[in-house]
């Protein structure tokens, strides 16, 4: 079994706009937004970040949010594996986007102590991610797609698709 390292704080999540790798014009941060590793985060113009959202950059990852993106309250983005969100994307309240997960190493290693695997997530332009949806590592959500409320997306989504359910499945194509 691996040695258990002492837990340590990741900080308060307080940030200054000048700490970002890039920040566009007219970016709105509502109260209680937390940002970690802003030096790895790029925000485009006209981005809205809702109350209590967490943008969890990572010291060796990246997060790029395009122009005209709306991020709802309590959203959680973890970009250790890399996260790119295209222009004009709406992301509902309580959406979670993850770019890392613990490896499956069998019973010999507790899950919490297993190594992490990193895989980028891409949400292409003109998408809508519904309230409470979860997008898992390695997924690309194709342009113009809509992810239904509460869906768990674990596979790539073709452009202009509508996805619903757990696990998320394409239920129709947008016209």
Q: What is the pLDDT of residues 106-130, one digit of tens each?
A: 898 899 889 999 999 999 999 999 9
Distance CA 145, CA 19 (A): 32
With respect to residue 63, please indicate whether it lies within any of the assigned structural domains.
Answer: yes
With respect to residue 136, please indicate whether it lies within any of the assigned structural domains.
Answer: yes
Distance CA 86, CA 90 (A): 10
Per-residue pLDDT tens for 125-175?
999 999 999 999 999 999 999 999 999 999 999 999 999 999 999 999 999
Catalytic residues: 102
What pLDDT score does 94 carry? 98
* Structural domain range at position 58: 18-173
CATH number for the domain harbouring residue 79:
2.160.10.10
Distance CA 28, CA 19 (A): 15
With respect to residue 106, please indicate whether it lies within any of the assigned structural domains.
Answer: yes
Distance CA 88, CA 78 (A): 20
With respect to residue 24, please indicate whether it lies within any of the assigned structural domains.
Answer: yes
What pLDDT score does 112 carry? 87
Distance CA 84, CA 92 (A): 16
With respect to residue 111, please indicate whether it lies within any of the assigned structural domains.
Answer: yes
With respect to residue 76, please indicate whether it lies within any of the assigned structural domains.
Answer: yes
With respect to residue 2, please indicate whether it lies within any of the assigned structural domains.
Answer: no
| β-pair partners for 91 | 71, 129
- Evaluate whether 135 touches 147 at the Cβ level (below 8 Å): yes
Per-residue pLDDT tens for 4-48?
566 778 889 999 999 999 999 999 999 999 999 999 999 999 999
Number of domains in the chain: 1
With respect to residue 72, please indicate whether it lies within any of the assigned structural domains.
Answer: yes
């Amino acid at each position: 079994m691996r040695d258990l390292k002492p837990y340590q704080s990741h900080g308060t999540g307080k940030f200054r706009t000048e700490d970002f790798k890039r920040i566009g014009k007219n970016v709105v941060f509502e109260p209680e937004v937390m940002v970690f590793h802003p030096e790895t985060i790029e925000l485009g113009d006209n981005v809205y970040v809702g109350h209590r959202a967490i943008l969890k950059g990572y010291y060796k990852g990246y997060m790029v949010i395009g122009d005209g993106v709306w991020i709802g309250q309590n959203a959680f983005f973890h970009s250790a594996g890399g996260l790119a969100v295209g222009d004009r994307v709406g992301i509902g309240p309580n959406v979670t986007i993850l770019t890392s997960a613990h490896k499956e190493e069998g019973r010999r290693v507790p899950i919490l102590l297993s190594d992490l695997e990193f895989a980028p997530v891409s949400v292409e332009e003109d998408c809508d991610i519904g309230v409470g949806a979860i997008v898992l590592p390695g997924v690309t959500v194709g342009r113009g797609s809509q992810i239904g409320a509460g869906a768990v997306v674990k596979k790539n989504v073709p452009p202009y698709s509508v996805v619903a359910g757990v696990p998320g499945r394409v239920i129709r194509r947008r016209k």
